[in-house]
Amino acid sequence: MLKKDIKRNKLSCRLMTAYFVGFIAVFSLGTFLTKDRSFSEMENRTLKQKPDITAEKVFSGEFGTAFEDYMGDQIIFKDGLMSVKTTSDFLIGKSYQNGVYFSQGGYLLQRFDEDRQNLDTNIAAINEFAESRWIRGKKIDMMLVPNSICVNADKLPAGAVTDDQRDTISHVKESLSPAVTLFDPTNILMTMQREGKKPYYRTDHHWTSPAAKLCLEEWLGTMGVPLPSGNYELREVGGFYGTMYSKAPAGFIRPDKFGYYFNGAGRYGVEYVIEGKSAASMIDESFLTKKDKYASFFGGNFAHLVIRSGASGGKVLVLKDSYANAALPLLADVFSEIHVVDLRYFHTDTVTNLIDLYGIDRIMLLYNVDFLNEDKNFVWLG
C-alpha cells in the first residue's frame, strides 16, 4: 500500500471519529441544555423526568435503567427523529409500524388481534351486572362500534394480518345476556364509507362526529327515543393528527379535520364529580389548538361526569370508552341527567350503588370492539 493511501485512510478514520463524537456531543449537550418536557403531545403521554441519584440506586442498577428511560424520553429533536425513521422505514417497503398499517387513502389502521379469553371475561362481567338483582327490570342497551380496520379493511396493504371484527361482534351477540339489547352499527358505518362520508379519522382511532350522530339516531330509534331535530352545526378545525399518527408519525401523512356538533339553543351543565369542578360546556376549546383535539370533548376521560340539561328524558347511566365522547353532546338533548362512568377510572364506588343513589332509569353501554377486547376494568361493574 502506498503512503498516500495510508494517509488517506487515516484521514477518513479521523473524520469519521470526529463526526461520530460530534454527533454524540450535539445530542447529549442539546438534551442536557434544553428544558425537560413533562408531556409529549406527539405521543400523548407523560415523559420520564430526571431520576434521583443515590448510592443504593446506582449499585442496584435502578438508576442506570431510570436514566436510560429519561434520556430516551427527553432526547433533543425526538419527535423529528421519530418522523424521519418512520418515513424512511416506509420508503424501504415497511407498511407496518408499531401496530399500525399504512393503508390506502392515507389511513393509518391499527391491527386487531382478538383476545377471546379476555373478551369472554368482559362479556361475563357485563352479563353478571345485567342479571344482578339490583339491576333487574331496568332497560339495558349496548352499542358495540367496530373500529376503522373493520370498515376500511379493503384499504389494507397486501399481506396485512388482522382478525375480522365482524366475527368478534357475532361472538358477542351469541354470548351476551338477553337482559342486554345489543345494537351493531357496522352496516351503517360501511354504508357511510361507501358513500364517501368518512366515518373514521385517517390518523386517529376514533369515529367522526357525523358517524356518531348517525349511529346514535338509529340506536335511539330502536329504543323508541328519537333524537330532537335541533339546529346542530358541525364545527371543524384542521391540523388534527391523532393517536395512530403518534404510533406511526410519517412525514407524508396529511392531517385530518376534527369536528364536533354545536347546538346554540342548548343549555348544559357538566359536573366533574371526583374532581369537584363544573363547566357550562361539553367542549373544552383549549384542546382545539393542541395535537389531541379529540380531548376537547370534556377535556378528556374522567371517572364520573354528570351532564344536566333541560331535556325531557329521564336519568340515564352511560358506561363508556372514549368513543362515547362524540355522542354525549347529542345525548344531552335527549335525557335530562346523564351519569357518565368510565370504568378505567371509576374505582371509588360500585356502579350498582351509583344507580341506586341517583335513581337511574336506564343504562346504556357504548364501547368500541377493540376496547371490549383488550380492557381489564369491567370487573369494576359490580
- Distance separating the N- and C-terminal Cα atoms of the chain: 81
CB 157 within 8 A of CB 100: no
pLDDT value, residue 219: 97
pLDDT value, residue 110: 97
Report the C-alpha gap between 56 and 2 in whole angstroms: 56
205: cell is: 382511532
Q: How far is CA 106 from CA 100, 101, 110, 145, 252, in A?
A: 12, 10, 13, 22, 9
CB 188 within 8 A of CB 240: no
Closest among 122, 97, 44 to 371, alpha carbons compared: 122
Q: How high is the mean pLDDT in each 10-residue block of the chain (382 residues)?
A: 52 56 48 56 61 66 62 55 62 82 96 98 96 86 98 96 98 97 98 96 98 97 86 94 93 94 93 97 96 96 96 94 97 96 94 92 96 96 82
DSSP annotation of 349 reads S
Q: How far is CA 71 from CA 67, 254, 301, in A?
A: 6, 30, 29
Angle at 202 between CA 184 and CA 123, to 5 degrees: 30
Q: Which residues of 245-268 are buried (b: 16+ CB within 10 A; e: fewer)?
A: bbbbbbeebebbebbbbbbeebeb
pLDDT value, residue 319: 98
CB 240 within 8 A of CB 293: yes
Q: Burial of 4 by CB count in 10 Å (0-12 exposed, 13-18 middle, 19+ buried)?
A: exposed
82: cell is: 421519530
CB 352 within 8 A of CB 132: yes
Closest among 36, 83, 62 to 248, alpha carbons compared: 83
pLDDT value, residue 252: 87
26: cell is: 450535539
C-alpha 373, offset from chain centre: 14
Cross-strand bridge partners of residue 200: 207
pLDDT value, residue 328: 97
